[in-house]
Amino acid sequence: MNIWRELISNKLALIGGTWIMLWVSIAIAGPILRPDPSENANNQHLDLSLLPPGTEVNVDGESFTFLLGSDRYGRDFLSRLMAGSVISLSVAGIAVAISLLIGLLLGAWAGYKGGVVDTVVSWFLQVVWSVPTLLMVLAITLAFGKGFWQVFVAIGLTMWVEVARIVRGQFISLRELEYVKAAKALGLSDFKIMFKHMLPNAMGPIIVVAAANFAAAILIEAGLSFLGVGARIPVPSWGNIVKEHYHLLTTDLAWLAVLPGALIASLVLAFTWLGDGFRQAFDVAK
Amino acid sequence: MNPILQVKNLTVAFDKVVVKDVCFSVYPGQTTAIVGESGSGKTVTSMAVMGLLPPSGRIISGEITGVNRLDYIKNGSPVGTEISMVFQDPMSSLNPSMRVGSQVGESLRVHLGLNAREATQKVIELFTEVELPSPRETLNKYPHELSGGQKQRVMIAMALACEPSVLVADEPTTALDVTVQATILNLLQKLQKERNLGVLFISHDLEVVRSIAQHVIVMRFGEIVEQGLCLDVLDSPSHPYTIELINSRPKKICEGGVRSHQSLIEVKNLGLEFTTSRNFWGNPTKRFKAVDDVSFIINTGERVGIVGESGCGKSTLGLLMLGLEKPSKGEVVWKNKVLNVEDEKSMKEFRREAQPVFQDPFSALNPRMKIGKAICEAIRQTVEGKKLSSSQQLQEAKSLLLEVGLQEEDLEKFPSSFSGGMRQRIVLARALAVKPIFLILDESVAALDLRIQSQILELLSEIQKNRSLAYLFISHDLDVIRAVCDRVLVMKDGRIIEEGSTDEVFNSPVDSYTKHLLESRPGKLNFAS
């Protein structure tokens, strides 16, 4: 399809996409790729903490190189960063999946049906919209206990509103098109009309929102981990790696906080570029 | 007489050449018309004259020269205020967030250096000249408060503001109703005489051109096929394409098939109301009746037309009859049974037997679905169609495509590879796939070029005869209705104001509105002499 060709010819989108693929493969490969293959890269040697990058040490009779140095608990920093990507990406993936599922169904239903259904759904959207994400996460954590499943669900539950709004808007304008009216007059079921005739023609904006939501979810998760609500120690996430080291920001060891922060920023940027690329590709394809 | 604008050997290209070697002149006080179908290069020519070609287009060769004070600088843009333009769509060529008075005043202040008071005074004069009702009040109105015809008058006032000597009018009346079209054409004529304007008039409608132009140019595929004095060309055309164009106006009456006196669909006191404003307590204070107490019967095999101007409720009536819109009163009786939108089973049956064909061929097909798939989907809606294997369905789809004059390899194509006329054939094939006995044709040929229009109308008549269909043809175009309908209903403000056989209504109309409509047809107008 020419959407893909258009996307590949967009340099920023290509860079963003490659960067995302790289981190996805690092997250999936997990222990195989990490210098420290232990679960959560949690091999602690308190006597070896805060060593500079490239230091060679002797651990249990074996030689080991801290390529990016060691963190405050004497763990291999590179391995921690690599393991941290799992949380960031999976939170983003699951949150986006949840938001798409709810957002698509509710938005499509409201946009297609209109009338009372639309009024009720729109009202509900506004209510959810007005609840701050953090408050929602805290409420869900209070109700279901701490842990990252709660974070997944909480982030997903706040982000679907945006998807629903876009889908609703698209469906409202598609509903007026003659091929939708013709499908109704042919007696096709509502389900078929919505998902076979309307949804494929609304895909462009939905993909763009999904990409933006990926970026947002990564940021929210980082924020939550930094506050200590997200992933539980010792599970690494880029947010809580920053939290563990931000007091070193003014010292020579600043990279311990800067690097995970930069990774968060780079992945957010990558998703933004990719989303932008999709938007342009869809514009051109039209 | 010396021409006021001369175009010599003009060639314009985008990716490929779209206007080739075009020569013509515009004379003061006279109208030169460019006629052609969509894609003939007539609009590109006018854009080149205005210096408004988009960045991707360029003038390859030829020259445009203005006599008098009209100068063209090197890159082909006109300098100064000697030439101006009126566009097709008055709805989108006015800024919706600016009062019309200041929109017209703006160009006066920029080009003539008038101050605010002088500009306002001048705008009032202009508005009086273009015959806008109460010019002083109109100054402070926003475009959405004006009707389509009034907006076009504002556009004309704006075009005349700087006293140009040449006016380019690109399909200025195409988006308007016939009665409004007549008044706007009349106004253009008057202004031309008063101001000794040279007019370059772009149109697809030969009848309109005949009524106002002195010179005519017929274009096809970017080239001039014939040009000369208007009456010479239109009365004794020499090029076969011109002859075809002239004959394409639906003058020919198409015969219908067998009719019976058995009622197929009956509309009883049908009405649809919208609440347009509510008071503080949410109680309606103003209602708009889109369809107001309409009743009529269509018999099996009968061809009925509804004619009316935009906003008269004719399309809404069609949607009500199809059960796509819920009436606020009255009922639709299908084969002597009252239609109940809530009853899904009987609706499903009804939907198989009554099918719509809408106006816009470009939005009538799902752009992401192949033609074959779209038609097979419709075939599966019938009881027999469900039992067919997918190859049998394809076979059926093939024969439908052949019936509407397309080829079987078109099954594998997406809608984007078809022209408007071909798409309308596909839409017709899809509607026929469920073997309906009644069609509602809502402006089904309005978006097509005249030549394609008459082809589709002929196809339609043939299918109607072969399948002994009944149909309701909704149109604003009296000639179309006359060509393909046995009986006609005239609609105005949601009501049916006249009803009768086509001959009766066209030859001896009773209602004064019907008379007015008939007199406003472009073929009946005659200003030029």
Summarised one tens digit per residue, pLDDT across range B87-115 is 887 778 888 888 999 888 888 888 788 88
What's chain B's Rg over C-alpha atoms? 26
Q: Is B447 helix (H, G, I), strand (E, B) or coil?
A: coil
Quickly tell me which residue has 């959407």 as its tokens. A3
pTM for this entry: 0.80
Query: What residues of A are in contact with residue B355 (Cβ under 8 Å)?
Result: 185-186
**How many angstroms separate the CA atoms of B318 and B332, rounded?**
11
Nearest 5°: the CA angle B478, B483, B485 is: 85
- pLDDT exceeds cutoff 80 at B313: yes
Least confident of B54-63, B71-80, B216-225: B71-80
Output the pLDDT for position B84. Answer: 86
Which one, of A209, A204, A220, lies nearest residue A264 by Cα? A220
The nearest CA of chain B is from the CA of A212 a distance in Å of 25
Quote the strand ranges of B311-467, DSSP E.
329-334, 337-338, 354-357, 438-442
Output the pLDDT for position B332. Answer: 93
For A93, A261, B273, the CA distances from B311, given in Å and listed in that order, are 49, 60, 14
CB of B439 less than 8 A from some CB of A: no
B528 pLDDT band, cuts 50/70/90, is very low
Number of residues in chain B: 529
Indicate the angle between helix axes B116-129 and B148-160, nearest 10 degrees: 120
Quickly tell me which residue has 């988006």 as its tokens. B175
DSSP string for residues in A218-248: HHHHHHHHHHTSSSPTTS--HHHHHHHHGGG
Least confident of B45-59, B60-74, B96-110, B220-234: B60-74
Contact B489, B317 (CB under 8 A): no
CB of B364 less than 8 A from some CB of A: yes
Contact B490, B280 (CB under 8 A): no
Query: What residues of B are in contact with residue A185 (Cβ under 8 Å)?
Result: 322, 324, 351, 354-356
Sign, CA torsion A266/A269/A274/A277: negative
Interval B240-252: pLDDT, tens: 998 888 887 766 6
Output the pLDDT for position B529. Answer: 42
Query: What residues of B are in contact with residue A182 (Cβ under 8 Å)?
Result: 356, 358, 364, 427, 430-431
Q: What average pLDDT score do residues A192-200 get?
A: 91
**How many angstroms separate the CA atoms of A276 and A279, rounded?**
5
A179 vs B348, B354, B363: nearest CB:
B363
**How many angstroms separate the CA atoms of B155 and A208, rounded?**
39
For A48, A71, A137, B32, the CA distances from A240, given in Å and listed in that order, are 20, 12, 17, 76
Structure tokens that stand for A278 in this block: 């999709």
Helices first, then strands: H and E counts in chain A: 11, 2
Q: Do B364 and A185 lie within an 8 Å CB cutoff?
A: no
Which letter, b or e, does each residue of A118-153 get, where b requires 16 or more Cβ atoms within 10 Å of its Cβ?
beebbeebeeeeeeebeebbbebbeeeeeebebbbb
**How many angstroms separate the CA atoms of B130 and B62, rounded?**
36
**How many angstroms separate the CA atoms of B198 and B164, rounded?**
9
Interval B420-437: pLDDT, tens: 889 999 999 999 999 999
Contact B13, B189 (CB under 8 A): no
Q: Do B324 and A197 lie within an 8 Å CB cutoff?
A: no
Closest residue in A to B370 (Cα) is: A197
Sign, CA torsion B291/B343/B352/B300: negative
Output the pLDDT for position B251. Answer: 60
The pairing of beta strand B78-79 with beta strand B263-278: unpaired
Best residue of B315, B353, B363 to probe chain A, by most A CBs closer than 10 Å: B363
